[in-house]
Amino acid sequence: MSSKRLVAALLMTAALAAVHPAAAQSPVAVAPEAKGFALGAFTVTALRDADFQAPNNGKVFAINASTDDVAKVLTQAGAPGDAIHLSVDGLLVRTPDHLALLDTGLGPKAKGVLIQSLALAGATPADVTDVLITHGHGDHVGGLLDADGRSAFPKAVIRMASAEWASLRGQAPMKALVEAIAPQVQTFEPDATLFPGVKAIAIKGHTPGHVGYEITSEGRTLLDIGDTAHSSIVSLARPDWVIAFDGDAPVATASRQALLKQTSADHTLIFAPHFPFPGLGEIETAGAGFHWRADVPAHAGAGH
Ligand SMILES: [Zn+2]
């Protein structure tokens, strides 16, 4: 790696850390993986990008609770009590007329392997027609740039909420990314239908224009919840615990509680980008909180 390249890579890592506290922890490289299933006439494929271990130190997760209480919740679920594990994943949605990628992971400069996972699903970056962004944190938009700092999905329309694009444009560490993707960006107002079967859903509080995406085909629905919940254990057992990633904690907490209540009552099929790969399953009520039941629907495969 040339010294110029190295400096650029370090700057990118610093930029990611500035916009997403999880990125302050070194991402752990993982093997690429793609897991797909049929949702009506669509094919939906979870794409693996990276892993994080966030230490249970009271600075990121549950900043309004004790580390002992967090450790108790983790160990009761059979996980180590000293760290919170997060996966980083994207979602590929193949409809009759679109090949949409929902979030892009960290990007190749930060050890993300989403592009290799995309290849396992039988697609190249140039095949992607739409990139749908839940929000502008580095672990969701970092992969919009390739290893050379160019727009990674040259033929795609890049869609995000207008408030999110305004926020991204206002962040100095995101300048290079904003300039590279600007010609491809199309904004929407939340709750817009983007194309048949794909609708953006406002989920307020995490960032100024954070959205989820509702994918519907032939009566079957999948909801990508973005960063409404980060840990499949902690965020569900205690949705009232504040996570440092949330920009407006009271609003984000209320959104999390409302979404968990609604989707558990409706048995909604969920994709959560930070739950253990492939991040597919259902929310169930458990005591005063909730529980994650991982479940890959039938017809799972590599996603071809
Ligand atoms: Zn995130």
At residue 60, the pLDDT reads: 84
Q: Where are the alpha helices (DSSP H) in the chain?
A: 3-19, 67-76, 114-120, 138-141, 162-169, 175-181, 234-237, 249-266
User: Ligand 1 centre from 286 Cα, in Å?
Assistant: 25
**202 SS3 class:** strand
The pTM of this model reads 0.90
- Reported as a single tens digit per residue, the pLDDT across 102-131 is 999 999 999 999 999 999 999 999 999 999
Q: Give mean pLDDT, residues 268-293.
A: 97
Q: Where are the alpha helices (DSSP H) in 225-281?
A: 234-237, 249-266
Q: Give 283's pLDDT tier (boundaries 50, 70, 90).
A: very high
Say which residue, 95 or 297, is predicted with more confidence.
Answer: 95
User: Ligand 1 centre from 70 Cα, in Å?
Assistant: 20
At residue 29, the pLDDT reads: 87
User: Ligand 1 centre from 112 Cα, in Å?
Assistant: 13
Cα separation, 235 vs 266, in Å, equals 19
User: Ligand 1 centre from 228 Cα, in Å?
Assistant: 9
Q: How many CB atoms sit inside 10 A of residue 298's CB?
A: 7
- Reported as a single tens digit per residue, the pLDDT across 72-96 is 999 999 999 999 999 999 999 999 9
Return mean pLDDT, the chain. Answer: 91
Q: Give mean pLDDT, residues 284-290.
A: 95
- Reported as a single tens digit per residue, the pLDDT across 60-78 is 888 999 999 999 999 999 9
At residue 18, does pLDDT exceed 70? no
- Reported as a single tens digit per residue, the pLDDT across 183-238 is 999 999 989 999 999 999 999 999 999 999 999 999 999 999 999 999 999 999 99
User: Ligand 1 centre from 23 Cα, in Å?
Assistant: 9
Cβ-Cβ contacts under 8 Å for 278 (sequence gap 6 or more): 33, 35, 46, 48, 89, 296
Q: Give mean pLDDT, residues 2-26.
A: 42
Q: Give 249's pLDDT tier (boundaries 50, 70, 90).
A: very high
At residue 27, the pLDDT reads: 84
Amino acid code (one letter) for 81: G
Q: Which structural domains are found in the chain, ordered by start?
A: 3-294 (3.60.15.10)
User: Ligand 1 centre from 119 Cα, in Å?
Assistant: 23
At residue 233, the pLDDT reads: 97
Q: Give mean pLDDT, residues 162-171.
A: 97
User: Ligand 1 centre from 139 Cα, in Å?
Assistant: 5
User: Ligand 1 centre from 63 Cα, in Å?
Assistant: 17
Phi/psi region, residue 175 (left: phi>0; alpha: psi -120 to 50; beta: rest), is: alpha
The two tokens of residue 109 are 């400069």
